Structure 1
Amino acid sequence: MNNGQPLKHRGVTVEDLLRLRSVRDPHYASDGMHGVFVQKSIDEEKQYCSHLYIWTEDGAVRQWTFGRWRDTRPRFSPDSKTIAFLSDRSGHTQLWLLPADGGEARQLTFFKNGVRDYVWAPDGTFLIALTTLGDNETIDDREEPKKKETKPADLKPRVVERLYYKSDASGFLDGKQAVLVCIDATSGKTEALTSREEEISSFAISPNGRTLAFVANRNEDPDTTFTRDIVLLDLESKAETNLTKGSGTFTSLAWSPDGTKLAAIGHDLAFLGATIHQLYVFEPERGTKRVLTADWDVHLGDAMVGDTHADAKGPGPIWKRDGTGLYVTASQRGRVNVYFVPLDGPIVPIIEGDFHVYGLAIHPNEQQAVAAISEPTMIGDLYTISLESGTKTRLTRVNEALENEVTFADAEPFTYQSTDGWDIQGWIMKPPRLGDGEKAPLVVEIHGGPHTMYGFTFFHEFQLLASSGYVVLFTNPRGSHGYGQSFVNAVRGDYGGMDYEDIMAGVDAAIKQFAFIDETRLGVTGGSYGGFMTNWIVGHTNRFRAAVTQRSISNWLSFAGVSDIGYFFTKWEVGCDVWEDAERLWHHSPLKYVKNVRTPLLILHSEHDYRCPIEQAEQLFIALKQLGQETKLVRFPDANHDLSRTGNPALRLERLRQIVGWFDHYLKGPRD
């Protein structure tokens, strides 16, 4: 498992989380002579910060911005002389400009609610930014200092009239709507380009600078209709054309070099939230639409689950310079790799291997690329890659000190059959210091989603468990991405059915295949859907000596009305609304089976989780306590559904200590 290499000095610890560095979002200048990327880290005060770094053609890397703030999404101007980026250094995330040869950054926007995203105009004279406006707010309203506390006299009731009124990512929406704004790059003068939109998720300017394409929710009832249309806006006349007219949901727009075609990632909602993403190409002038990946049963984009690069925004489709096709990332069998999709002809792998590509930039000469790559034993770095030979050269070594100090456990893939004969992929991580002939307890990890994917990427939590003496098993049961449309759709309407069988068959297969597993000491954990499945497992088997459920679902009947997505997700995934078939929802609810639970269960939940609200944990905890079962509820303040990935670092540390401590007590303590 360690490729015959001697063990280094120590294993992974909880505190190593604070030392992880994530390099992401590489971007070439148009001259190809240099590029820029972002490095995210945690500072000495346990706060996230991110800075811009420059690399040059000779491989030299220099830090370009400093300070205790978050600088993100850097993009060179078309003439390569200026770097635009987003930063919260003013208190809100705004758009800043920085000379590419060095100097002071200049704040370009001062919007009251900050900037969410932006693009350069092809001639570099202006930028288009996405902001939000509340009732009675305008683009001329300036940002205000963030209030540290609310005085009693300032308290007001929140009046809710919309079905969709809160978001796990944004909290209460309070009527804010999206607006695209044109900003002069020199003067900062602004002009609103769109009226208030319910939602804008992607936008791109045509190469001639005349047309803005953007994705918007143009439905009459935006809360209950889930198509997202591509709208074309003539920047001179302000005339709009709806290109897709409710035919699907789209994102990641990219104009062809000659401006005649518009690419997008999207799908037609044929399998609702379980529909795999495909590559579309539109020709607006001709009124045509093609799905280039219609015969490729692969999910486009990055479906990987991890805790180090989870918020890294991967690339959308990238056009080849001659307009004959596009470079895309795709998720397949636990890998996220890069492919070339031609307008006519077979799809070709470009950057392929057992790893996770979570960032990509193609050099203007298209002979090489820079990719952000992670592997189970390699935290993540940038590599220059020849697109002709495939040769990889490491550009950064941001985690080298830590990687040289600790011993990581490798993740060994294996395939097994479920109870109905379906092939399921899984991975085993063996404790690095486990001696020959020794056995170790097993912890089963179950991912969320469920329409996501485990695979070949670095996972600090898994490494921590392995270093703590646990064998770690993680699998992709049906419902996961990476194995085609039928596979990802198979869990819908069957939560706790064959997905449960897939996971338990994985436990059996691992015990049979790997002699170092102590089958008398089994643990299980997971978050979100993985939390649902952990709750389901302990209500249906007593094989596990300990379990940790995180940000979980326990009761579909109440989840439907309290989750930010519950009102549609419940029907999409389980198959009905509360008033249609309450018995069906109760049948799929782990709370129904709480009387069967004999496994000590640790319940971890964030108090501001609007995706799986904390009442789901409270119901389960109270029922277990009433029944006299071993349980503990740990509530994390000021944290949402993403605690384990992007939450407060101090709370992330405590979360990990709780997990390891629970398993240590019940799996390493004396047997009953």
Structure 2
Amino acid sequence: MMSFSFSVEQLVQLGRVTTFALSPDGIHAAVAVSRLDTETMSYRSDLWRITLDNSEPPVRLTRGRYKDHSPCYRRDGSLGFLSNRPLAEGSPKDEDDSRMQVWLLPHEGGEPRPVTDEPLGCSAFKFASRGNRLAVIADVYPGIPHEEQRKRVADLRKKGPSVLKYTQMNVRHWDSWLSTEAPHVVVYDEEGGDRKDLTPNADRELRGEMSWDLSPDGRSVAITRARLSVVDRLDDVALWVLNTETGQSYVLGEESQTMFGVPRFSPQGDKLAAMKGVRLVSQHGPIRCWVFDLQSGVATELASEWDAWPMPECWTPDGKHIVVSVDEQALRPAYLLDAVTGARTRLLSPSAGGNHVGLVVSENGQRLVGLKSRIVHPPEVFSAPVGVDQVPDFVSNLSNFDAKAAEAAVTIEDLRVHTVHDVQTTLVSPRGGDTKPLLMWIHGGPIHAWGDTWHWRWNPLVALSQGYAVALPNPSGSTGFGQALVEAIWRNSWGGQCYEDLMATADALASRPDIDPKRMVAMGGSFGGYMTNWIGGQTDRFKCLVTHASIWDMSAFFASTDYPAWGKLELGGISPYRDRAGFDKYSPREFVSNFKTPTLILHGEKDYRVPIGEALAMFEALQEHGVESELVIFPDENHWILRPNNIIAWYNTVLEFIGRQTAVNS
């Protein structure tokens, strides 16, 4: 049986590598690591310097009870980062201290100094790699002069009003009401002088999931700008280019029911790579990689025949290729795309496994560097030669996790079940021992996938330490297995083929000699929670159910979620106001009379994606029908459980419930 012990308390104490920056000489990387402050039970973040060849031990660059993160090197080797540290020594402790500003750690050493002083703080920044330019994303109150912004902040806090007024959807995003401040693109010289707002009139168009890039010479900024479509009341996201000297701008790409994103300037600054996706009632359109010639305006789609969703990460230094990451058979490897022909070369071998993101190529073009994680390995910086089917090496262990012990204690299998298509499942089990109870974890999305990646919120190793096997199925709607599998969840089919895929997977798992078919548990969050609820109304084959942030009543959910128009699109263009019966075809509430399985319901009260009313309605319905059920609410959490003590409580509550129901460790 598994000798490797891994508790949720150990999970929250691990260092969390979040972002990194490669030094201009390609020798070092600056890495942001979040760590638990045990006195306050909250996460702080420090910066570390590592060498890519492991020739030197890691060096801690910043310390203190601050959040220092998002490192970015300036062209002279000085290190910029975002921090909430006070702007002046001995300054009064007030709410301004929580605002992020750009700080600079000089390359010659010494203490960091602030570079910006934005009244509402900065959320992101970049230094030009070969120019005298700093660009930041900073919240601004539209229509109020910069010099009056700070007074506006103080007045609102002291006197109000707190009223918010809207004339169109959308009005909320994840866990917040869309307020009056709006992100703007602001540029400085690299020392923090010559401030210029490039988007002085921007209001709602830069809110939400805006992405952007700064050209190497610092003369241009590429941004995505959203505008509500009259066709489907969702945002059309256009691609714009701003001139940092003149403030002039032009549209590079804009189409109805289309979303551009992830712009990446070429090293020469003459081209821009970006992703482009379309949304239709009839299908979830594929996501493609495009290249725009900034001189001619010609746009070229790359690798159009590739049945995958390549996301641009970076360019090679010679400007001839784009490095993309892509979901592929429960992995996320890296490829090179020829910037002219679209011909692709796989950079990382499938045998290496894992999830690879944040990819950059060294200035000499010889090394690929990024963040890699696996089911048994938290995110760390990796390095690999730029070549075909390379196996990357981890170059740090800033998480302080014993990955070798974890690998030795577990088995990971790739399983396939055929329904109307092939359904992949990753089965993670304790090595050796008796027949094991099984947890079938259903992923959210539904356009998403489980993969060989570390997960902080749904970590199989915590369950394995309690003796469970964990199945991670990728049914209809999962990415990385071809467009047809994605389309299988579209057009009001949530409870259809996806359910059949999961039941076929459960059948295959139950037939294994190492799995106890009488002690199987279904559980999931968000769409995975919805599917868990749907299962409860269709079958009683599972010993118990665990449902987190889940949908219970489709019509009620549609009326209160933060993006109702997206739900209408996913369900084939129908709404409960025009076709209530059709909209509720796969609503779990409609099948509550069939429910028999003991159920644990968990929800964050600040969740605006799946509002708290769904959990309350489900609990009441199960109680009314005499179904054994428990409700657990986190008043200070949103769609995800993020606070350390709440993370511990969430895992322990779930493990206690399923342990009691399956008679494990009871």
Is TM (by shorter chain) over 0.5? yes
SS at match of 2:134: strand
Following TM superposition, by how much is the alpha carbon of 1:441 offset from its aligned partner in structure 2, in angstroms?
1.5
User: What does residue 220 of structure 2 align with?
Assistant: 211
SS at match of 1:540: coil
Change (3 A) 1:142 1:409: farther
Following TM superposition, by how much is the alpha carbon of 1:388 offset from its aligned partner in structure 2, in angstroms?
3.7
SS at match of 1:587: coil
Change (3 A) 1:135 1:322: closer
Change (3 A) 1:109 1:140: farther
**1:165 lines up with 2:174 in the alignment:** no
- The residue type equivalent to 2:428 in the other structure is M
Q: Quick check: 1:18–1:46 contact (8 Å CA) kept in 2? A: no
Unpaired runs of at least 5, structure 1: 1-5, 302-315
Change (3 A) 1:268 1:160: closer
User: What does residue 134 of structure 2 align with?
Assistant: 127
Deviations 1:279-333 (A, max 9, x none): 11011321211111311111224xxxxxxxxxxxxxx431112211111111111
Corresponding residue to 1:611 among 597, 609, 612: 609
Query: For residues 429 and 16 of structure 2, what CA distance do their matches in structure 1 show?
Result: 25
SS at match of 1:128: strand
Corresponding residue to 2:322 among 297, 320, 326: 326
- The residue type equivalent to 1:72 in the other structure is H
* TM-score, normalisation: structure 2: 0.90
User: What does residue 110 of structure 2 align with?
Assistant: 103
Query: For residues 30 and 526 of structure 2, what CA distance do their matches in structure 1 show?
Result: 35
User: What does residue 90 of structure 2 align with?
Assistant: none
- The residue type equivalent to 1:661 in the other structure is E
Q: Quick check: 2:14–2:400 contact (8 Å CA) kept in 1? A: no
- The residue type equivalent to 2:648 in the other structure is L
Query: For residues 217 and 615 of structure 1, what CA distance do their matches in structure 2 show?
Result: 30
User: What does residue 37 of structure 2 align with?
Assistant: 43
Matches within 5 A, 1:251-266: 251-266=261-276
Q: Which moved more, 1:518-527 or 1:106-115?
A: 106-115
User: What does residue 88 of structure 2 align with?
Assistant: none
Query: For residues 272 and 197 of structure 1, what CA distance do their matches in structure 2 show?
Result: 32
Following TM superposition, by how much is the alpha carbon of 1:157 offset from its aligned partner in structure 2, in angstroms?
4.3
Corresponding residue to 1:26 among 20, 23, 34: 20
User: What does residue 185 of structure 1 align with?
Assistant: 190
Deviations 1:55-108 (A, max 9, x none): 23552221111122222211111232x111111223212211111342211122
User: What does residue 658 of structure 1 align with?
Assistant: 653
**1:250 lines up with 2:255 in the alignment:** no
- The residue type equivalent to 1:113 in the other structure is L
Matches within 5 A, 1:278-427: 278-301=288-311, 316-343=312-339, 344=341, 346-353=343-350, 354-388=353-387, 390=390, 392-400=392-400, 402-403=402-403, 408-418=409-419, 420=420, 422-427=421-426
Following TM superposition, by how much is the alpha carbon of 1:187 offset from its aligned partner in structure 2, in angstroms?
4.7
Q: Quick check: 1:574–1:585 contact (8 Å CA) kept in 2? A: no
Corresponding residue to 2:541 among 524, 540, 543: 543
SS at match of 1:552: coil
**1:448 lines up with 2:444 in the alignment:** yes
**1:70 lines up with 2:67 in the alignment:** yes
SS at match of 1:665: helix
Change (3 A) 1:146 1:536: farther
Following TM superposition, by how much is the alpha carbon of 1:367 offset from its aligned partner in structure 2, in angstroms?
1.1
Matches within 5 A, 1:531-610: 531-573=529-571, 575-610=573-608
Q: Quick check: 1:96–1:105 contact (8 Å CA) kept in 2? A: yes
Alignment RMSD, CA only? 2.6
Q: Quick check: 1:570–1:576 contact (8 Å CA) kept in 2? A: yes
User: What does residue 115 of structure 1 align with?
Assistant: 122
Query: For residues 530 and 607 of structure 1, what CA distance do their matches in structure 2 show?
Result: 18
Q: Quick check: 2:303–2:342 contact (8 Å CA) kept in 1? A: no
Deviations 1:101-155 (A, max 9, x none): 42211122222321121222354423111112235544335669999x989x857
Query: For residues 541 and 329 of structure 2, what CA distance do their matches in structure 1 show?
Result: 29
Following TM superposition, by how much is the alpha carbon of 1:517 offset from its aligned partner in structure 2, in angstroms?
0.9
Query: For residues 573 and 467 of structure 1, what CA distance do their matches in structure 2 show?
Result: 39
Query: For residues 129 and 455 of structure 2, what CA distance do their matches in structure 1 show?
Result: 39
Q: Quick check: 2:547–2:599 contact (8 Å CA) kept in 1? A: yes
Q: Quick check: 2:378–2:401 contact (8 Å CA) kept in 1? A: no
User: What does residue 92 of structure 2 align with?
Assistant: none
Change (3 A) 1:652 1:449: same
- The residue type equivalent to 1:659 in the other structure is V
Deviations 1:563-582 (A, max 9, x none): 10123323323541122211
Query: For residues 104 and 282 of structure 2, what CA distance do their matches in structure 1 show?
Result: 40
* TM-score, normalisation: structure 1: 0.89
Query: For residues 362 and 656 of structure 2, what CA distance do their matches in structure 1 show?
Result: 48
Change (3 A) 1:123 1:348: closer
Query: For residues 535 and 24 of structure 2, what CA distance do their matches in structure 1 show?
Result: 53
Following TM superposition, by how much is the alpha carbon of 1:383 offset from its aligned partner in structure 2, in angstroms?
2.3
Counting aligned pairs with the same residue, the percent is 27
SS at match of 1:186: coil
SS at match of 2:430: coil
Following TM superposition, by how much is the alpha carbon of 1:541 offset from its aligned partner in structure 2, in angstroms?
0.1
Q: Which moved more, 1:514-523 or 1:183-192?
A: 183-192
Unpaired runs of at least 5, structure 2: 86-96
Query: For residues 132 and 430 of structure 2, what CA distance do their matches in structure 1 show?
Result: 56
Following TM superposition, by how much is the alpha carbon of 1:457 offset from its aligned partner in structure 2, in angstroms?
1.6
Q: Quick check: 1:430–1:466 contact (8 Å CA) kept in 2? A: yes
Query: For residues 356 and 523 of structure 2, what CA distance do their matches in structure 1 show?
Result: 26
Q: Quick check: 1:79–1:124 contact (8 Å CA) kept in 2? A: no
- The residue type equivalent to 1:386 in the other structure is P
User: What does residue 238 of structure 1 align with?
Assistant: 247
Following TM superposition, by how much is the alpha carbon of 1:227 offset from its aligned partner in structure 2, in angstroms?
1.6
